[in-house]
């Protein structure tokens, strides 16, 4: 890599010298043309060299390389990581951490913080997303209710994302969420991208493919809270988020329909939905997704989901639980975004219907719930939306919570977002709550993918 | 016991059905034509020039779409999973939407670093490479340099040469054909370039403003002077204070032309035009921005005709 820099430098230096020499010794018109041609050739070589240097800097050379797209540029990496890494130009070993942490083997000090930018180019993409939520109004929900009120102010979540390509066969993604009280591995998984027969496999901890909202991180939701049906039937904010593996594949389908099947097996622990009391209590999730472009600006997205696992109902009686919970879901999304004005106007309408069938002592509980929402983009920075909620509770299917929300979102830039949500809740116990929620989301570091 | 058996059956059915689907689905037909998917229409046009009838080329983004904000629609996966080669613009232009598509494509041939992944920016002359530290206070800045580099015919030639070499690598049997196609393209481009240069010559040094900083390579090649942008920072929508500043600058510099990409709103440019007497022109940054702009040559023909007309009118 250094040689290329030298070569590029040499060409740069040689260029004017060479030009001077030749023009001094000769002067005819045909020679000028030849000279111009040679300068042009040198220019071409220089541009080619610059391109190679850029590729090397962004770590794209070789099979383990990163895309310009998925990897922050050296400059950006530097900006993100400036505090912990010394900006020393020479590769000086750092004695302090070595002395404290690692015993050097064979007298050779590990060379931490190497000064070359290429060492950083292979670091994972680092990003942090802050999620600050405030709430006003009254909500005197009983302690029994699944949906508990937000505190007046909270740093709800600070999500650190670390993402990189592992090797030519796989990539890794980590999302570590720091709440106010503790740290939680929200997701951490490896994706095998180079499997035969079009299969894509994942292993690790991940949000399961049950429906739409369950797969979404807080900061990509179109609301501040999650729909009541998610909280009542699918485990709330964390949802079905468990350790296991996943296989997905695009299936052949006619008429330009995108059809994809996903099968997942998890340990069987997910909030108050699933609880594994022995190794064989694994849970399974299956999802079938059909998608079609109606026009270039409108598309339909439809999904069927199924989840099955053991619940905690038996745990009070014996150590193991033979009580099962099964969930069935239907989700539908319609999106509109005119391509010529895609940054100004769009509409997303979505709905999810979920049925829960929970075995528990005395009587099986069959609960149903749904939400319907619509979000319209008014201009480049403004979005309005609304949501209607209706959901029974999984443990007590005769109790129904209802609610409606209006949402207004403002985007100062692609990297921050201010949102207000007015929420009316009619709890099953007959308590009504009128609340105003405010949220500020801000993102640092690597440019993530836009949600779809 | 019964329960655990039924559970395993569920798991087994899921895994087996996926595997069966994998085995029985039609495998890729060993066609003679290479399937090339490109992120933008310009890369598609250049690939078509050198690939001729030995390639099927399709672009993900449309020519009238903002290439920063393409949606990662699943339908694009259907194209990507069949692709032998993916040509990208690079320099983080597609960072918001291409990586998830590539990951989910289930196609090992086009993964980053694989033979079928080509970042075309490595061949081109790149401008606006930040020299100091980069922060988002500069807006959505591209730390590797300005990704709108294809609007310089010399870069077009370089990219076409790079694509031709890559096509030969993926399909060595047709290497002579691709080489020949490139030479033919080179010749036609050189001839066209002479014509374009002659048309633009009277307007060397003319000042203009663009909405987004998507014009530097064109401006450099044809010796134009971009003095400002409608956006206060890349990716940040116009603000009143910046607009007032820009109007002042344009008046002082006697700048009479505002170029707008087809995917931006015309409200602010029009008010700038009204305040300064400048002409507001929607130019095309990409092939396919208008129906009849179907290839790389027509893109320059179209834009140069627009520019020369606008410059003459604002003499």
pLDDT in tens, chain B (315 residues): 444 555 566 556 655 565 555 544 444 444 579 999 999 999 999 999 999 999 999 999 999 999 999 999 999 999 999 999 999 999 999 999 999 999 889 899 999 989 999 999 999 999 998 888 888 888 888 888 999 999 999 999 999 999 999 999 999 999 999 999 999 999 999 999 999 999 999 999 999 999 999 999 999 999 999 999 999 999 889 999 999 999 999 999 999 999 999 999 999 999 999 999 999 999 999 999 999 999 999 999 999 999 999 999 987
The pair of structure tokens assigned to A414 is 């692609």
Neighbours of B122 (CB within 10 A): 25
Asked if A103 has any chain B CB less than 8 Å from its own CB, the reply is: no
Q: What's residue A418's pLDDT?
A: 97
Which ipTM value was assigned to this complex?
0.83
Q: Calculate how close chain A gets to B225, using CA atoms only, in Å.
A: 22
Residues of chain A neighbouring B86 (CB-CB closer than 8 A) = none
Q: Does residue A136 form part of some domain?
A: yes
The rounded distance, in Å, linking the Cα atoms of B191 and B170 is 30
Residue B68 buriedness (CB in 10 A; 0-12 / 13-18 / 19+): buried
Inter-chain contact B237–A197, Cβ cutoff 8 Å? no
- Tell me what percent of chain B is helix, strand and coil, each rounded to the nearest 5: 50, 10, 40
Range(s) of the domain holding residue A114? 74-102+110-120
Inter-chain contact B75–A292, Cβ cutoff 8 Å? yes
Q: Does residue A68 form part of some domain?
A: no
Both A159 and A304 in one domain: the answer is: yes
**pLDDT tens for residues A172-193?**
999 999 998 899 999 999 999 9
Domain residue spans in chain B?
A: 34-194, 201-313
The rounded distance, in Å, linking the Cα atoms of A64 and A26 is 50
Inter-chain contact A68–B263, Cβ cutoff 8 Å? no
Residue matched to tokens 């988002």: B136
Q: Does residue A353 form part of some domain?
A: yes
Q: What's residue B10's pLDDT?
A: 59
Task: Kindly state the helix (H) or strand (E) to which residue B84 belongs, with its residue range.
Answer: none
Q: Does residue A173 form part of some domain?
A: yes
Strands in B207-210's sheet, in edge-to-edge order, are B225-229, B207-210, B257-260, B279-282
Domain B34-194 has CATH 3.40.50.1980: yes
8 A C-beta contact, residue B97 and residue A69: no
Q: Among partner residues B7, B69, B143, which is closest to A76 by beta-carbon distance?
A: B143
Beta-sheet strands, E only, within A183-280: 183-192, 199-207, 241-251, 258-266
Both A50 and A78 in one domain: the answer is: no
Residue A290, CB half-sphere, CA atoms under 13 Å: how many? 11
Q: Does residue A293 form part of some domain?
A: yes
Both A155 and A269 in one domain: the answer is: yes
Domains identified in chain A, total number: 3
Q: Domain containing A199 — which CATH number? A: 2.40.160.10
Residues 6 or more apart whose CB falls under 8 angstroms from that of A316 comprise: none
The pair of structure tokens assigned to A329 is 């879901």
Q: What's residue A144's pLDDT?
A: 76
Both A325 and A290 in one domain: the answer is: yes
Both A228 and A354 in one domain: the answer is: yes
Inter-chain contact A250–B73, Cβ cutoff 8 Å? no
Asked if B124 has any chain A CB less than 8 Å from its own CB, the reply is: yes
Q: What's residue A29's pLDDT?
A: 66
Helix B175-200 / helix B296-313 crossing angle, nearest 10 deg = 0
Inter-chain contact B7–A193, Cβ cutoff 8 Å? no
Positive or negative: CA dihedral B103, B109, B112, B118? negative
Q: Calculate how close chain B gets to A148, using CA atoms only, in Å.
A: 34
Distance of CA B98 to the CA centre of its chain: 12
Q: What's residue B183's pLDDT?
A: 96
Q: Among partner residues B15, B71, B111, which is closest to A337 by beta-carbon distance?
A: B71
Both A50 and A197 in one domain: the answer is: no
Q: Nearest-CA residue of chain A relative to B75?
A: A258
Q: Does residue A67 form part of some domain?
A: no
What spatial distance separates the first Cα and last Cα of chain B, rounded to whole Å?
89
Number of H helices, E strands in chain B: 10, 8
Longest dimension (CA), chain B: 89
Inter-chain contact B136–A415, Cβ cutoff 8 Å? yes
Per the DSSP assignment, residues forming a β-bridge with A387 are A373, A405
Q: Using the 8-state DSSP alphabet, how is residue A195 labeled? A: -
Residues of chain B neighbouring A344 (CB-CB closer than 8 A) = 265
Inter-chain contact A449–B123, Cβ cutoff 8 Å? no
Both A114 and A178 in one domain: the answer is: no
8 A C-beta contact, residue A55 and residue A71: no
Both A115 and A140 in one domain: the answer is: no
Number of H helices, E strands in chain A: 6, 16
Partner A, chain B 213-252, Cβ-Cβ below 8 Å: 235-237
The rounded distance, in Å, linking the Cα atoms of A426 and A404 is 9
Q: What's residue A360's pLDDT?
A: 87
Best to test chain A binding among B4, B38, B74 (most A CBs inside 10 Å): B74
pLDDT in tens, chain A (452 residues): 445 555 555 555 554 544 444 444 444 567 888 998 888 889 888 898 888 888 877 765 433 333 333 333 333 333 333 333 333 333 333 333 333 333 334 444 445 554 455 556 788 989 999 999 999 998 888 877 788 889 999 999 999 999 999 988 999 999 999 998 899 999 999 999 989 988 999 999 999 999 999 999 999 999 999 999 999 999 988 899 999 999 999 999 988 899 999 999 999 999 889 998 889 999 999 999 999 999 999 999 999 999 999 998 876 666 556 899 999 999 999 999 999 999 999 999 999 999 999 998 888 999 999 999 999 999 999 999 999 999 999 989 999 999 999 999 999 888 999 999 999 999 999 999 999 999 999 999 888 777 77
8 A C-beta contact, residue B206 and residue B224: yes
Domain B201-313 has CATH 3.40.50.1110: no
Both A116 and A138 in one domain: the answer is: no
Both A258 and A194 in one domain: the answer is: yes
Q: Which residues of A5-21 are buried (b: 16+ CB within 10 A; e: fewer)?
A: eeebeeeeeeeeeeeee
Identical fold between B34-194 and B201-313? yes
Asked if A195 has any chain B CB less than 8 Å from its own CB, the reply is: yes
The pair of structure tokens assigned to A187 is 């997701």
Partner A, chain B 146-165, Cβ-Cβ below 8 Å: 158
Partner B, chain A 307-366, Cβ-Cβ below 8 Å: 308, 322, 324, 335, 337, 339-344
Q: Does residue A424 form part of some domain?
A: yes
**pLDDT tens for residues B30-50?**
457 999 999 999 999 999 999
Per the DSSP assignment, residues forming a β-bridge with A303 are A289, A331
Q: Does residue A66 form part of some domain?
A: no
Residues of chain B neighbouring A337 (CB-CB closer than 8 A) = 71
């Amino acid at each position: 890599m250094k040689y290329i820099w030298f070569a590029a430098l040499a060409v740069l230096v040689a260029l004017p010298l060479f030009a001077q020499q030749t023009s001094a010794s000769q002067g005819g018109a045909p020679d000028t043309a030849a000279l111009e041609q040679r300068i042009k050739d040198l220019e071409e070589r220089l541009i080619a060299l610059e391109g190679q240097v850029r590729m090397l800097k962004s770590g794209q050379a070789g099979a383990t390389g990163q895309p310009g797209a998925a990897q922050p540029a050296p400059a950006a990496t530097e900006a993100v990581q400036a505090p912990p890494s010394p900006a020393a130009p020479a590769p000086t070993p750092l004695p302090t951490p070595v002395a404290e942490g690692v015993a050097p083997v064979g007298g050779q000090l590990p060379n931490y913080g190497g000064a070359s930018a290429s060492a950083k180019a292979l670091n994972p993409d680092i990003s942090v997303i802050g999620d600050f939520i405030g709430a006003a109004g009254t909500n005197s929900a009983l302690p029994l209710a699944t949906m508990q009120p937000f505190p007046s102010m909270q740093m709800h979540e600070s999500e650190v994302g670390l993402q990189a390509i592992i090797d030519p066969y796989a990539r890794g993604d980590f999302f570590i969420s720091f709440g106010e009280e503790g740290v939680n591995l929200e997701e951490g998984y490896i994706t095998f991208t180079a499997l035969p027969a079009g299969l894509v496999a994942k292993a690790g901890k991940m949000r399961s493919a049950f429906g739409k909202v369950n797969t979404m991180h807080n900061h990509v939701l179109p609301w501040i809270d999650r729909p009541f049906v998610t909280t009542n039937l699918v485990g709330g904010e964390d949802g079905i988020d468990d350790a296991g593996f996943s296989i997905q594949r695009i299936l052949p389908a006619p008429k330009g329909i995108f059809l994809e099947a996903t099968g997942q097996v998890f340990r069987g622990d997910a909030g108050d939905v699933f609880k594994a009391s022995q190794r064989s209590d694994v849970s399974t999730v299956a999802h079938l997704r059909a998608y079609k472009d109606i026009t270039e600006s409108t598309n339909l997205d439809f999904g069927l989901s199924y989840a099955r696992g053991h619940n905690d109902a038996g745990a009070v009686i014996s150590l193991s639980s033979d009580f099962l919970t099964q969930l069935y879901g239907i989700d539908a999304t319609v999106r509109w975004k005119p391509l010529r004005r895609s940054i100004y106007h769009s509409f997303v309408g979505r709905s999810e219907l979920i049925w829960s069938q929970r075995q528990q002592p005395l009587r099986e509980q069959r609960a149903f719930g749904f939400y319907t929402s619509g979000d319209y983009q008014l201009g480049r920075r403004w979005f309005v939306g609304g949501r209607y909620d209706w959901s029974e509770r999984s443990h007590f299917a005769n109790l129904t919570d209802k609610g409606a929300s209006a949402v207004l979102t403002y985007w100062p830039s692609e990297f921050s977002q201010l949102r207000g949500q007015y929420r009316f809740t009619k709890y099953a116990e007959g308590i009504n709550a009128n609340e105003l929620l405010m949220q500020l989301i801000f993102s640092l570091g690597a440019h993530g993918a836009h949600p779809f | 016991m019964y329960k655990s058996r039924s559970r395993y059956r569920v798991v087994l059915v899921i895994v087996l059905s996926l595997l069966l689907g994998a085995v029985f689905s039609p495998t890729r037909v060993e066609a003679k034509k290479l399937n090339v998917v490109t992120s933008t229409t310009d890369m598609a046009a250049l690939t078509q020039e050198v690939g001729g009838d030995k390639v099927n080329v399709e672009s993900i983004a449309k020519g009238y779409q903002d290439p920063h904000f393409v949606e990662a629609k699943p339908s694009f996966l259907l194209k990507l999973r069949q692709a032998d080669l993916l040509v990208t613009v690079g320099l983080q232009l597609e960072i918001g939407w291409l990586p998830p598509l590539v990951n989910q494509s289930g196609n090992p041939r086009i993964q980053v670093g694989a033979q079928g992944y080509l970042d075309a920016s490595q061949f081109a002359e790149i401008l606006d490479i930040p020299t100091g530290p980069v922060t988002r206070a500069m807006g959505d800045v591209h730390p590797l340099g300005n990704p709108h580099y294809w609007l310089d015919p010399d870069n077009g030639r370089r990219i076409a040469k790079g694509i031709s070499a890559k096509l030969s690598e993926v399909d060595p049997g047709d290497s002579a054909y691709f080489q020949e196609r490139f030479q033919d393209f080179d010749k036609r481009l050189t001839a066209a370039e002479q014509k374009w240069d002659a048309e633009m010559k009277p307007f060397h040094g003319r000042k203009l403003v663009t909405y987004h900083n998507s014009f530097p390579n064109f401006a450099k090649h044809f010796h134009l002077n971009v003095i400002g942008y409608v956006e206060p920072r890349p990716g940040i929508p116009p603000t009143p204070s910046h607009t007032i500043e820009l109007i002042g600058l344009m008046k002082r510099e006697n700048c009479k032309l505002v170029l707008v990409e087809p995917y931006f709103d015309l409200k602010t440019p029009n008010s700038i035009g009204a305040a300064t007497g400048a002409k507001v022109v929607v130019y095309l940054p990409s092939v396919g921005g208008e129906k009849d702009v179907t290839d790389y040559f027509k893109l320059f023909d179209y834009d140069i005709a627009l520019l020369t007309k606008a410059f003459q009118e604002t003499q």
